[in-house]
A and B are shown apart, each in its own frame.
Chain A
């Protein structure tokens, strides 16, 4: 999410804050930087602010600190479609060899060639399987890049090639191939209310350490650690260099769950 408040002509200086969540901690003294930003925005109207933050945080801070009054209405990044995802993931995809799989592969390919033979304006897909795969990926990931990347990774599978049907061949010597199965969301486990509080807090700050998380929740570190351990095992939360974050593959389901439980996370679908 980006915010802009002034027209291009008035800009003398552009300040870019890549991630607003790094300037804030949901605790009593955690708003100093936000208040400073508001103060600066008020005193220096010629500054153009480019601020990145997620929708949950923007809604929360807008409610608590009335950010829209200083930085204008937010502009949401567009959802990524199938072709955008393909272009984004292409460098990674090209570095590994994999195939798109579908049951009626030949039939689907023939149909795809008939449909695309005359139309030159359409995005260039290598095959219908590729198009179907990425469209489905974009749909499942709700157009969110991080979710799509994670779901793409989850959809990769190794298949043992057994086309010859020769049972005597040693398994280790059989050629293997990497294939993508249809992208699907992993199941979000049933969450308790305490887990929702934790995940919402983690979502607000995007990624944070255990001690900061415990301050944000107002609970002791040992309490939070117990909950985190359960969520780590369930793969809902992941740890990267001692920083915790919500597994991007669960974003859309978690957003839906929190919205259904009256958390301020945005529009539920």
Chain B
């Protein structure tokens, strides 16, 4: 406690040297800089999002992915202007105060600072970018915003979830498209053991090949797996636009089920004894 109090007094002394005389004019200038920065970031964000939605698919993600860079650029520029305006940034002042301020900030805004640093590192490492579809913890969705502190995910239910960047340190981030427009959609079908495998596989291929959403340039695969209660068919294919992921899956399921119904294909049935076992 004594050490903390002493550190606090020293910091206050050096901070007073560091801070320039605060005049009304300087405060007004600082407010104008903050306002302009906010306005520029807001405008750039709106403009880039508008542009990306108007542009062709091949340019959409490229435009959106530049958003964090422009935000960081504006904030850095504003920070430099504000620093020059309000602080007396001589070498000795900076060295003296930064260490102590860092300790104080570390205690007070540990998580915030961790998120900001993770966000800056994320700009270079690119574990995720705006437009990617990622799973973090229990949440899955499209990244619609890359902020200073975290990302915003739009989930399939149209909720927006804010996730701090510092999850990068502790959690696995599953990125489904990693900067690409295409995303693999895996659709599962469970049928009885005795179904005609050739016919079912042909139906699954045709369903994917004839869906309006399918990116026909990319491979379509049907994978089989055997389970004790039936056969598991896994259809893997890609939509033209990753945003159509769920409607694409719906289209595949709808048309497959219609075709299977016409063929009178049997679904797996569980023996009554198994149900009884599972309930006991």
A binding-site residues for B, Cβ under 8 Å: 26-28, 30-31, 60, 63-64, 190, 193, 197, 200-201, 216-218, 257, 260-264
Contact = CB atoms under 8 A, between A and B. Distances in A.
Contacts of B215: 262
Would you list the 5 A-B pairs with minimal beta carbon distance, nearest first? A260-B56, A261-B57, A197-B212, A64-B209, A63-B216
Contacts of A216: 212
Contact of B210 (A30, A193, A263): A30
A218 B211 contact: yes
Interface of B: 54, 56-59, 181-182, 203, 206-207, 209-213, 215-217, 240-241, 244, 251, 254-255, 259
B251 A262 contact: no
B57 A260 contact: yes
Contacts of B241: 193, 261-262
B216 A264 contact: yes
A28 B207 contact: yes
Given A27-B210, A63-B217, A262-B240, 12 more contacts: A28-B255, A28-B259, A190-B54, A193-B244, A197-B213, A218-B212, A260-B58, A261-B57, A261-B58, A262-B57, A262-B241, A263-B240
14 contacts: A26-B212, A28-B210, A28-B259, A193-B244, A197-B213, A200-B212, A218-B211, A218-B254, A218-B255, A261-B56, A261-B241, A262-B57, A262-B240, A263-B240
Nearest to A26: B210
A216 B213 CA distance: 12
Contacts of B213: 197
Contacts of A264: 216-217
A113 B212 CA distance: 55
Contacts of B255: 28, 218
Contacts of A63: 216-217
A156 B81 CA distance: 61
A93 B203 CA distance: 52
A26 B216 CA distance: 13
Contact of B216 (A60, A197, A260, A261): A60
A144 B216 CA distance: 26
A201 B240 contact: no
Contacts of A190: 54
B258 to A, nearest CB: 8
A63 B209 CA distance: 9
Given A26-B210, A218-B211, A218-B251, A64 B56 contact: no
A60 B215 CA distance: 11
A27 B259 CA distance: 11
Contacts of B206: 28, 31
Scoring A31, A64, A197, A216 by chain B CB atoms within 10 A of each residue's CB, the highest score goes to: A64
Contacts of A30: 210
A106 B165 CA distance: 71
Most buried by A among B210, B241, B244, B259: B210
A63 to B, nearest CB: 5
Nearest to A258: B56
B56 A257 contact: yes
A139 B29 CA distance: 57
Nearest to A29: B206
Nearest to B241: A193
B3 to A, nearest CB: 62
Contacts of B211: 218
A187 B234 CA distance: 44
A261 B240 contact: yes
A201 B216 CA distance: 13
Contacts of A263: 240
Contacts of B203: 28
A60 B217 CA distance: 9
